[in-house]
């Protein structure tokens, strides 16, 4: 081999080896530019989360609310929920081509949703709930063929939901899974009924028993009850509060998939409880209420309907407070006397 041939081989080797690196750097810069554009559209960041945690001196994969893929280091999830942010969504977010999850729930984002988001064909979960978005509901939602979870409640959108959304196979599969899990809500799986619907026992694909709360949308207040319970349960974590597994929302169907309590409610206990069990249950309920009233961040939760039927017991007779459908969120400036609601008996 001549000297010139050796040089050519070396040159080819260098080009091939740096090619993927150059592509990765370009993609990484694209994602960073998109996120920085979003940051520039935030007009109020009261907790200084993006102001201090989104710095160009650190990798975007270490930024708060950002998740990257392990191999390609592209942004796969952006979760800015419950950060009290105010601002608008820039079209640049449509460049996050590897994005699977986009959650902005419970902020004060406003304006319309940019058409460029339609390019995010890999999206599986969208949650824009409880912001101040306006305009018509984008038709392009229906083109996101991989979409499995979708929430835009609590905004100021106008018009009806685009019909194409309800033809998405992934969303339909989610509802069908709930039907299969409960034997199509057969009476034999019925655990109980409440003011806004019924609760059924089900078993999901991995063999875990769950309780599926199906809302009767013909009852006045059922939509509001679903939104309230989904909102509160999604943002609380305590050993004595019932855990939410998922929410399912479609035009004619609302359901919550909840942790299953094998020993039923305190109201329906068939055998008398001993004194130790009673004391433990009282302590469990008090602990849950203390968390809701005082330890749940800046907003305190008032249950409004604590009763034996809403206290559920697990395998170990540990009590879990359930049914937060009429719960109210109180800010620090709100008075307890302002919360007047009709409770069930």
**Among residues 31, 284, 305, 323, which one is catalytic?**
305
Q: In this structure, are strands 86-87 and 108-111 parallel, antiparallel, or unpaired?
A: parallel
Spatial separation of the C-alpha atoms in residues 242 and 321, rounded to whole Å: 6
C-alpha–C-alpha distance, residues 264 and 311, integer Å: 8
* The dihedral sign for the CA sequence 79, 320, 189, 342: negative
Q: Is the alpha carbon torsion for 335, 338, 339, 340 positive or negative?
A: positive
- Cα–Cα–Cα angle for 328, 340, 337, rounded to 5 degrees: 90
213 is in an annotated binding site: yes
Residue found under tokens 């018509």: 136
Q: Catalytic site residue 31?
A: no
DSSP 63: S
Give how far Cα 20 sits from Cα of 14, 26, 60, 133, 165, Å.
11, 10, 19, 39, 37
Q: Count the neighbouring beta carbons within 10 Å of the beta carbon of residue 192.
A: 14
SS3 333: coil
Q: How does strand 253-259 pair with strand 300-302? A: unpaired
Which positions make up the binding site for ATP?
Answer: 213
Catalytic residues: 305
């Amino acid at each position: 081999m001549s000297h010139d041939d050796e040089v050519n081989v070396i040159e080819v080797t260098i080009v091939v080896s740096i090619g993927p690196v150059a592509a990765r750097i370009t993609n990484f810069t694209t994602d960073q530019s998109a996120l920085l554009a979003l940051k520039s559209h935030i007009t109020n960041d009261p907790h200084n989360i993006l102001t201090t945690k989104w710095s160009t001196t650190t990798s975007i994969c270490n930024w708060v609310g950002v998740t990257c893929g392990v191999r390609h280091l592209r942004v796969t999830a952006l979760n800015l929920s419950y950060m009290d942010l105010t601002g608008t969504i820039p079209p640049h977010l449509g460049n996050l081509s590897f994005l699977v999850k986009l959650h902005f729930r419970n902020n004060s984002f406003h304006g319309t949703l940019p058409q460029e988001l339609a390019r995010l064909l890999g999206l599986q979960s969208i949650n824009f709930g409880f912001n101040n978005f306006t305009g018509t509901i984008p038709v392009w939602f229906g083109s996101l063929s991989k979409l499995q979870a979708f929430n835009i409640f609590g905004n100021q959108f106008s018009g009806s939901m685009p019909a194409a959304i309800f033809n998405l196979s992934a969303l339909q599969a989610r509802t069908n899974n709930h039907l299969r899990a409960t034997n199509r809500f057969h009476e034999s799986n019925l655990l109980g009924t409440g003011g806004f619907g019924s609760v059924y026992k089900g078993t999901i694909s991995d063999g875990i028993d769950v309780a599926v709360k199906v809302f009767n949308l013909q009852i006045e207040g059922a939509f509001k009850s679903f939104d309230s319970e989904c909102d509160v349960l999604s943002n609380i974590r305590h050993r004595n509060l019932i855990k939410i597994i998922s929410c399912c929302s479609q035009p004619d169907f609302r359901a919550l998939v909840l942790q299953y309590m094998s020993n039923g409610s305190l109201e329906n206990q068939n055998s008398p409880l001993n004194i130790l069990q009673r004391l433990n249950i009282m302590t469990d309920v008090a602990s849950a209420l203390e968390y809701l009233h005082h330890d749940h961040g800046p907003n305190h939760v008032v249950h409004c309907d604590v009763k034996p039927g809403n206290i559920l017991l697990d395998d170990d007779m540990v009590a879990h407070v359930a049914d937060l459908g009429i719960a109210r969120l109180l800010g620090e400036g709100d008075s307890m006397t302002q919360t007047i609601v009709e409770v069930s008996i």
